[in-house]
Structure 1
Amino acid sequence: MASDGCGKEDLQEDIRMDSGIESYGSILTSEEPREPSSDFSGPRDKFSTAEERLDSAYTSSSITVESLSDIVEDCTISSAEDLPELSEKENLLTTITEDGDTILHLAIIHEDIFISQELIQLFPKEALDIQNNLYQSPLHLATYLNLTQVVTSLMNKGASLELQDQDGNTPLHVACQHGQQECVIGMTRDIPPSSLAPVLQTQNWRGLTCLHLAALNKQHHIMKLLMKKKADLNIQEGTAGKTALHLAVELHDMTSVKLLLKEGANVDAPMFNGCTPLHLAVGRQDAQIADLLCQFGADKMLRNMEDETALDLADGNNDILALFPFDDIQISGRSVVTF
């Protein structure tokens, strides 16, 4: 019997996720503060509380966005030292909503690119990384909404790419999952691979890196961008130890499989249970991908933790059996010592 994850048709629905702003439209109208989901109580311990995350100059306030233009027009601050001297109206720049949003968060949520860019210039650099109650920074929100100009402005001002939201996603994770190609370009263009490596190795709370998310969502152009930035092709997701190649095989995504193999992905990388991409391809009766893996040198005799070779999972599929020719020293895919 095929081991779990090898012969069963489970195309990773169990580890898929649909990140988002989580009804960002209600952020401005909610009467009560948004409570973080208990599902993430463990991972969130990596962060401090909302009060601890905020700059000491920031205070809670129930602000709206009707007067955003007036506020921006009258403000001229350029550094944190200016904050204590602001007028009453200007102090709106140093307040947060009950949901933890700054006025910059609100401008982005309302997709007001002009005001967002003006606020980015007005805010001191450290204020750009304030996270709201969903642990979303302004860069997270701009990415969710595909506001590429705002993303570029935030990156140019030095916004952090390493902050993780309540799902453990960095802004780059968000862009890779949702196919925001221009956002990916804006976030990575001026960052050398060595500096980007920590972000590319970061796993969200489901154990997925940026490359895993791009592969799961068949974002081929984004996968190419990540490869140019030297993303580790063989990094394993944290749930079952699958590489991007395993995920592409499960999805029957020939384009991703070819791309990964041509870029040097390990064709025999094992999962935690010992299954290789060939085990998955055969277990899913995908003769075409199994053939391609064999062309790239996949070892047909490797065994998983249940002592199965890929051939043991063929289940009588003639197209797949043709990839495993019998000879005098093999019986059912098992080597027989002869003298």
Structure 2
Amino acid sequence: MASKDCSKDDLLEDNRTDSGIDSYRSIVKSVEPREPSSDFAGPREKFSTVEERLDSAYSSSSITGESLSELVEGCTLSNVPEERTRSAELSEQEEDLLTTITEEGDTILHLAIIHENDFIAQQLIQLFPKEVLDIQNNLYQTPLHLATYLNLTDVVKSLVEKGVSLELQDQEGNTALHVACQHGQTECTTKMTTEVAPSKLVPVLETQNWRGLACLHLAALNGHHQIMKLLMKKGADLNIQEGTSGKTALHFAVELHDITSVKLLLSRGANVDAAMFNGCTPLHLAVGRQDATIANLLCQAGADMMLRNMEDETALDLANGNDDILALFPFDDIQISGRSVVGMKF
């Protein structure tokens, strides 16, 4: 009898917090771009960047995001030559403005990006040293995170060219590249992956957010095929397992019935027999979901039909009498009491 580990309705073990693909979709879809606020009170020890904040030279201020935003909207740096340095020639008023951090942890650059003021943002990027560009607000968002959320591709490009860190994670554990992969920001993804040396990009591609998802997982979960191709081209590990149930991008593609993603991953060499923590392979999932088309693709790619999960079930055990799926297995000549196995209801 098919276990609920790999059945159509519940493919995970009862003792796991992950309840299946729907929970993943609700998680990734629910994370929308947010303006920084001061009410974040999550467990700070969870964030690896908490000891790496770079705002020690900045003055904390009782100024609110709203009041400083008014300054941003009325601010102009057009009379500041690009070669001018803040320490040498900025006025005291400009110094105070540029070095103020709001109660929400935002610098003026964060606010310029939030207000989608490209001109001010670009001027500040040129003015500030890299260390300042990596300051994280109370939600652990860098300017790069915010520019990516808002799909400000020119700002993203300038930040990356200035050498900002791609490894910093926000309160959800997402890097800016995670954000781009989740929300389908193809151009932002391109700029972050092409302007960075492979040695610096690989750790980002392997980084998992607090839900155990790497960039490739998020792209697969949201069906962003072009982004998947970009990540693969840059050396993303096709078989990296997410942290809660051990699924690979191929498992996610199978669960979503995403034939395009399945074909793409298989063509690039994804492990067709990769096993989740409960032993289920992509073929187990395809058969459990009664998806004969994808099951056939997996079989054509050489999937091992005899692999067993932790419930000691093969994919055949989960077929539940589906003739289209049973026909994929080399057992159609077996007869029980004179009747062919194919067509019998179990």
TM-score by length of 2: 0.86
Matches within 5 A, 1:1-339: 1-9=1-9, 12-15=21-24, 16-17=27-28, 18-22=30-34, 24=35, 27=36, 34-38=38-42, 43-44=46-47, 46-48=48-50, 53-61=53-61, 62=63, 63-68=67-72, 69-70=74-75, 72-73=77-78, 82=87, 86-326=91-331
Shift of 1:294: 0.2
Shift of 1:97: 0.6
Shift in alpha-carbon separation, 1:4–1:47, aligned structure 2, 3 A? farther
Query: Aligned AA for 2:60?
Result: S
Unaligned runs of 5+ in 2: 11-19, 342-346
Distance 1:316 1:231 in 2: 38
Shift in alpha-carbon separation, 1:188–1:308, aligned structure 2, 3 A? same
Distance 1:319 1:147 in 2: 48
Query: Aligned AA for 2:132?
Result: A
Shift in alpha-carbon separation, 1:85–1:179, aligned structure 2, 3 A? closer
Contact 1:216/1:248 (<8 A) preserved: yes
Shift of 1:283: 0.2
Distance 2:335 2:280 in 1: 21
TM-score by length of 1: 0.87
Distance 1:140 1:216 in 2: 20
For residue 295 of structure 2, give the secondary structure of its aligned residue in structure 1: helix
Unaligned runs of 5+ in 1: 28-32, 334-339
> Paired residues, what number?
321
Contact 2:44/2:50 (<8 A) preserved: no
Shift of 1:328: 7.2
Distance 2:177 2:164 in 1: 12
**Which deviations, in whole Å up to 9, do the C-alpha atoms of 1:185-234 show, x marking residues without a partner?**
11111223333110000000000000000000000000000000010000
Shift in alpha-carbon separation, 1:278–1:230, aligned structure 2, 3 A? same
Shift of 1:41: 5.0
Q: Percent identity?
A: 67
**Which deviations, in whole Å up to 9, do the C-alpha atoms of 1:135-189 show, x marking residues without a partner?**
0000000000000000000001111111000000000000000000000011111
